[in-house]
Amino acid sequence: MRTASTERNTKETKIACKLNIDGTGVSRINTGVGFFDHMLEIFSHHSLIDIELSVDGDTHVDFHHTVEDTAYALSDAINKAIGDKKGINRYGFFYITMDESLSRTVIDFSGRPELVWKVELGLEKIGEMDTELFKEFFKAFTNNAKCNLHIENFYGTNNHHIIESCFKSFARSVRAALTIDERIKNIIPSSKGVL
């Protein structure tokens, strides 16, 4: 089982994260931001990564530090769990529809961070969460996981559906990328021999 835990303690947030890449999608998540919890629970469920996550952030200021630092902690735990990346598929992509919305995520755990975010939202907030923070979450995840991450929403009118389809496609892409290919289970999936 590929498991890991991490803690992040700053003047802005205190975070404890424990996960199992080879889980069944069971989660216990509390960030203090309801809609964000919902998206992370969806990520856990569809990626099949078991996640225990507790965040005590300076939400009296705003939600930025909580969201960004959660991405750092989550990606740090994933990095620890996959180690040298031997045997992983490395690449993952998935299209997800949610009612009238269609989104796609493509990910490459390449060791090189790059985010392409093509998602237009018509609201400033979903629930109590600022919609600009979704890009900040994926940016922080990308930078710390050192992956290429391309997320695009093709169409949709309901902002909740758009973001949920993004998180679901992200989850399924991560699941595909981190699945072990038995044919190369002792090989790093790069012609350079290192990721």
Would 178 be classed as within a structural domain? Answer: yes
pLDDT recorded at residue 1: 85
pLDDT recorded at residue 154: 98
pLDDT recorded at residue 171: 98
Domain containing 175 — which CATH number? Answer: 3.30.230.40
Under a CB-based contact definition with an 8 Å cutoff, are residues 168 and 98 in contact?
yes
Under a CB-based contact definition with an 8 Å cutoff, are residues 77 and 144 in contact?
no
pLDDT recorded at residue 165: 98
pLDDT recorded at residue 109: 98
Identify the segments of the chain with pLDDT beneath 70. Answer: none
CA distance 120 to 152: 9
Would 195 be classed as within a structural domain? Answer: no
Would 157 be classed as within a structural domain? Answer: yes
Under a CB-based contact definition with an 8 Å cutoff, are residues 31 and 70 in contact?
yes
Q: What is the DSSP letter of 58?
A: -
CA distance 141 to 78: 10
pLDDT recorded at residue 10: 96
Q: What is the pTM of this model?
A: 0.97
Would 159 be classed as within a structural domain? Answer: yes
Domain that holds residue 176: 3-184
